[in-house]
Chains A and B, each alone.
Chain A
């Protein structure tokens, strides 16, 4: 075991705030969680997210919280359920295969209306896949993180600074909606280092379970402090489902986040998130240098998906969209096509299995699609 650094030397000190630092994505996410008031972390090792639990193991006790390495992924997410049940802001992190193992627990958190933050630092899949970075879990995160038909807000950073800001925000959303929130980053964001500024430390909030939660859909449960995702009576379960549905609709109104990049005159629009969006940004500069008017819509919230951003594209000007992802086959395609109702052609571009996507490949994909459309 390597020698621990002095926890007081870590960046949360008062002097540390606002100072520009050079931090690794995974460590930055862990620090952002603590600054947001997270005081419980449980996890189990898996590449490429290991720096999150490693950082938490020395930083969380210093912040007055609890770090636990569970005996498995399943145990870890259940410990998070326990911490949330007694009103503590809690987090767990993993990568693809580990998130699958946490699926039961995440569904149970959603069923019991408990807030928690889950970080997925994606690698190549399916199965154990590759340990290198990929964007292989879009469908899992946005459509069905577990059984039972629930949704979570999914936030996807494309820089280390954004990973900090979105993790910090995720805790607020989890408490506000009493629902788990997922931060979905690819392994490159987790392992890269960039200059960042950390936000202010928030006092850890504690929330009471009494008076809300799944049990309160049953009038006879009011006043009883029981945390459960099991309602038994079908009518009360249905009430919970209806309320959840209303909440998801509310997210579509209030919680959509996306960046529009050089769209004003764009004829070719790349749709990309995370590291793929960074490569696309460079590619757009190169394409514009050749006189090709490219732009980008970068979904930041993957769920709710930025449908309106796509809908309001000028269909007379935009010749095609290019779904650009680090996974094959690409996974956002259905959401994009639904949003534009097939009024704009959608092409795809990607690398998979842990192979990084370069700006040159995106430039070539745009040029190839232009040639195809001209035929």
Chain B
């Protein structure tokens, strides 16, 4: 099993954290993982994207022309990477900030209202954790517990933070929907 994922959005949306957390959790769960950030010289407001590979075997190419999954945090990222998803792959949209215009019919499309859910939970900062929840639900790449272990280790053990992250992950898993 090898899964290649592109995560893309604005700088500041926690795009790199999504990628890193998937990597940390896979490493902790005894799998191979590769996280490769890609950004330009800008700090905030620019675009950011990263590649993640999760594998049971040795990982070769860090980046391929086609990925299994695109996680698009905003509309420009969706447009930019739309063509890089392999036929039969998954596009996971943050539907708080992007709209599916049906430009491809050979991929599965899933939606999660990441920003709206994050606000509901109490902090706009956890929108990326909501998306992680949606991704693991869709792909089955990692279990909820494997993800939580990594989140606890890397994103803080303070009870109120942990509780919020736990809730964000669970809600992401529950509320992700596949479009017909």
Contact = CB atoms under 8 A, between A and B. Distances in A.
B61 A281 contact: yes
Contacts of A315: none
B20 interface: yes
Interface residues of B, number: 23
Given A191-B36, A195-B32, A21 B27 contact: yes
A119 interface: no
Contact of A194 (B28, B34, B41, B63): B34
A360 B41 CA distance: 28
B35 interface: yes
A356 interface: yes
A358 B36 contact: no
Interface string B29-64: 010111111100100000000000000001111111
Contacts of B28: 22
B60 A359 contact: yes
Max chain B C-beta neighbours (<10 A), residue from A47, A193, A280: A193
B103 interface: no
Interface in A179-221: 188, 191-195
A87 B24 CA distance: 39
B31 to A, nearest CB: 8
Given A193-B20, A282-B60, A188 B65 contact: no
Given A22-B23, A193-B23, A275 B35 contact: no
Given A20-B27, A21-B27, A193-B20, A188 B62 contact: yes
A281 B23 CA distance: 21
A285 interface: yes
A262 interface: no
Interface in A268-283: 275, 278-283
A34 to B, nearest CB: 22
A360 B60 contact: no
Interface string A333-375: 0000000000000000000000010111100000000000000
Contacts of A279: 60-63
Nearest to B24: A22
A131 interface: yes
A295 to B, nearest CB: 14
Contact of A358 (B23, B27, B59, B61): B61
A285 B27 CA distance: 24
Contacts of B64: 282, 358-360
B35 A193 contact: yes
B63 to A, nearest CB: 5
Contacts of A20: 27, 30
Nearest to A21: B27
A192 B41 contact: no
Max chain B C-beta neighbours (<10 A), residue from A21, A22, A356, A360: A22
Nearest to A131: B41
B142 to A, nearest CB: 14
A358 B60 contact: no
Nearest to B65: A360
A83 to B, nearest CB: 32
Contacts of A131: 41
Interface in A284-320: 285
B40 to A, nearest CB: 8
Nearest to A189: B62
A195 B22 CA distance: 12
Contacts of A356: 62-63
A188 B37 CA distance: 9
Given A278-B62, A281-B60, A359-B60, A192 B36 contact: yes
CB-CB nearest 10 A-B residue pairs: A282-B60, A281-B60, A282-B61, A22-B27, A279-B61, A193-B35, A359-B61, A195-B27, A360-B65, A192-B36
Interface of B: 20, 23-24, 27-28, 30, 32-38, 41, 58-66
28 contacts: A20-B27, A20-B30, A21-B27, A22-B27, A22-B33, A131-B41, A191-B36, A192-B34, A192-B62, A193-B23, A194-B32, A194-B33, A194-B35, A275-B62, A278-B59, A278-B60, A278-B62, A279-B60, A282-B60, A356-B62, A356-B63, A358-B61, A358-B64, A358-B65, A359-B60, A359-B65, A360-B65, A361-B65
